[in-house]
Amino acid sequence: VVYKNNDIRLELSRLARIVDPKMKIQGEVSYKCENVATLDPISFETPEAYISLPKWNTKRMGSISFDFRTTEPNGLILFTHGKPQERKDAARSQKNTKVDFFAVELLDGSLYLLLDMGSGTIKVKATQTKVNDGAWYHVDIQRDGRSGQWCCSITEVK
């Protein structure tokens, strides 16, 4: 276990093992490793940080799932968009450019699914409880393009 803060770096597990005076051990401590699942988490250290992934090309059916944890109340978790398309606005006899999109966002600690697949933007609250409590959550999103159904399930990872 390593503690980092600016220029300070302390190897806490090593200091505890050698009974360094900087450390105080309380209770029973075991110095061994256990086999656990590899998760490869990504941490975003600044508000501007993000990761770009390949286009999610799912014309008919598709699914995406991910785990996350946060204490932030607001933020964009996932966003993807299609190609800009010119559409004619019959009411105004004008052409305008529309872009289909799909997004998952946090707003006031609740998770929302936003999408526009050509017939207007919809925003659905995906959780009834707040998910910015620092616990791990698993999100599974299924799309069946033929019937226009989207299913989003959120479960707390224990």
DSSP 8-state code for residue 139: E
Q: Is the pTM of this model over 0.85?
A: no
Please state which architecture CATH assigns to domain 44-156. Answer: Sandwich (2.60)
CA distances from 2 to 12, 95, 134, 139 (A): 6, 58, 20, 30
pLDDT band at 86 (very low <50, low <70, confident <90, very high): confident
Say if residue 3's pLDDT is above 70: no
Q: What is the pLDDT of residue 126?
A: 87
Q: What is the pLDDT of residue 106?
A: 92
Q: Are 110 and 104 in contact (CB under 8 A)?
A: no
Domain boundaries, the chain: 1-35, 44-156
φ/ψ (deg, to 5) at 14: -70, -45
